Amino acid sequence: MDHLRPIPEHCHRGHRLDDTNLFYNCNGTLLCRSCRHDIERAYRHRKFAQKHAGHDVTQVSDNRRHCRTCRTADLDEVAVERATAGDPPAHLNTAERAAAVFQLTSKGLTNAAIAQRIRCHPRTVYAIRQRNRAQTAT
Q: What is the pTM (predicted TM-score) of this model?
A: 0.50
| Average pLDDT rounded to a whole number, residues 107-119 | 94
Long-range pairs for 22-31 at CB < 8 Å and ≥24 separation?
A: none
DSSP 134: H
Q: How many CB atoms lie under 10 A from the CB of residue 128?
A: 22
d(CA 74, CA 86): 21
Cβ atoms of 66 and 46 within 8 Å: the answer is no
pLDDT, tens digit, for every residue of 34-80? 999 999 999 999 998 898 888 888 887 777 888 877 765 568 889 99
